[in-house]
Amino acid sequence: MERYTGKKIYEGIAVGRIAWLGKKEQVVERKHTEDTEAEKKRYEDARNEAIAQLRALYEKTKNEIGEADAEIFDVHAMMLEDDGYNDSVNNIIESQQMNAEYAVAVTGDNFAETFASMDDEYFKARSVDVKDISERVIRILSGESEASVDASEPSILVADDLTPSETVQLDKSKILAFVTRKGSSNSHTAILARTMNIPAIINVDVQESWNGKTGILDSDKGIFIVDPDEATSKEYNDRLEAQNQAKKLLLELKGKPNETKSGQKVMLFANVGNLSDIGSAIQYDAGGIGLFRSEFIYLGKDTYPTEEEQFTIYRKAAELMAGKKVIIRTLDIGADKQCDYFELGHEDNPAMGFRAIRICLKRPEVFKTQLRALFRAAAYGNIHIMYPMITSMSEIEQIKKIVAEVKAELKEQGVPYKDAPQGIMIETPAAAVITDRLAKEVDFFSIGTNDLTQYTLAIDRQNAALEDFCDVHHEAVLRLIEMTVENAHKNGIWAGICGELAADTSLTETFLKMGVDELSVAPPSVLKVRKVVRECD
């Protein structure tokens, strides 16, 4: 019996056969060619086929998982349409008289190296993406098949690494868990694993020789066991049975109140990125939408979404939730969420740069378009509007001025609209410290613990090398949360949490004692948190 340790990506226990994801090492030969035009045509055909594959992956992911998680394939397709990338490939073919495979490999390596050397975390992440698209084109040029897994039965998938495209193309019914050597908890593949509810750990010294052996994954403890002995197998099979029974019991909590034994109630809402995610929120019995990430409406396009496009989406969200709260966060572009058509430019430290409400206040025409759509959609349901990345009272004053202008314009034009409660995200220490003043100006607070933790601890949450230093339970973070809730209640407004900590059941009782009014989590976590709430005194 061998025991290995790794880092948890998504919780759960899995017991079963180990299946190794076979990846052929791409060996690209450097070949001279006289007919460069024919070689450029080969590249163009392969590039077009790769784009078609990525568009198909986008649709598959959008339909099966959600539009927010599908965006990575749209990004990959756009990278293959980039003039700089294509000019580099064609130039190598033409000037060096080399084959297309070699030209793509060199271009991919050069671009990946350039991205990886940048200080900007968003562009560093693009290093992995450009390698992924280059390998896809080379496979098409070479007539090679994609990486495959020998899984005739549900198995624990083991691999050196997984790209997003590999993850989404796998038959979910055949996958019990993921175990990989590489990756980070913020990678696209990790996000997909969480969305697909598949237990996963990373940073394990995986070996191809495990293929076909029995494996046990205990992702809660970050443990992977190969060839377990009889006693260990029995222990984990018993725990797996208990886990499965617990999942069934969770479904029995649908329709039950989110209430402690002593009668304290809390609102349990869902975080979503698009309309398709709302179906999952309804399925898991969320009491409302605590965070609708409107930026994905912008990320999925190559130009600014119109007022009508946004209005249609917001209206449908309100109608689907049938009178329940739908809290829509205004545009939160910037940092690791970039849109080329915004032309934001390079920043040395984008997480602290031109993003979110700062963009909206500097580009009021973009902000007004979204606000018009939101106030119009509010006439069709219980929409609340929430502003991200607030740091000062002056920002609230500017927002209120723009909101007043928007309402006046709608009224003057005779466009139907309805007022909507307006709140802010508390995700900077600056905002948390002045919540006693901010609470007098807004209708609610929603605490974004992901950024609040990042800024409080001075840790870039996209940097995998800093994960050991990122203590999400740090006393300073918890004190800022408690201060925010206290100041909200003193001023007669409610306060919720919409960051990752909202789903951390080890803190549920702590949040209840603080008086947190609402917890907004990924849809599959709603019933898990409800169970813990109902068990608290």
H/E stretch holding 521 reads: strand 518-521
**Where would I find the H helices in 290-356?**
295-299, 307-320
Cα–Cα distance measured from residue 55 to residue 484, given in angstroms and rounded to the nearest whole number: 44
Cα–Cα distance measured from residue 443 to residue 488, given in angstroms and rounded to the nearest whole number: 9
Cα–Cα distance measured from residue 518 to residue 389, given in angstroms and rounded to the nearest whole number: 19
Could you tell me the two tokens for 9?
């990506």
**Where would I find the H helices in 440-507?**
449-457, 475-490
H/E stretch holding 495 reads: strand 494-497
For tokens 């709140």, what's the residue? 423
**Where would I find the H helices in 340-474?**
357-362, 364-377, 393-413, 429-433, 435-438, 449-457
Could you tell me the two tokens for 54?
């990525």
Query: Is 351 strand, coil or helix?
Result: helix
For tokens 């390998």, what's the residue? 135
Cα–Cα distance measured from residue 125 to residue 129, given in angstroms and rounded to the nearest whole number: 7
Rounded to a whole number of angstroms, the CA Rg of the chain reads 25
Exactly one of 76, 188, 339, 360 is catalytic; name it: 188
Strands in 109-231 per DSSP E: 148-149, 155-159, 175-180, 200-202, 214-218, 223-226
Residues in the chain: 537
DSSP-derived secondary structure for 64-93: HT-HHHHHHHHHHHHHHT-HHHHHHHHHHH
**Where would I find the H helices in 117-229?**
121-142, 164-169, 188-195
Cα–Cα distance measured from residue 37 to residue 52, given in angstroms and rounded to the nearest whole number: 23
Whether 188 is catalytic is yes
CA distances from 26 to 46, 116, 140 (A): 16, 21, 12
> 299 CB contacts (<8 Å, ≥6 apart)?
71, 74, 333, 337, 339
Exactly one of 339, 360, 384, 498 is catalytic; name it: 498
- Asked if 30 and 97 count as a contact pair (C-beta separation under 8 A), the reply is no
Active site residues: 188, 498
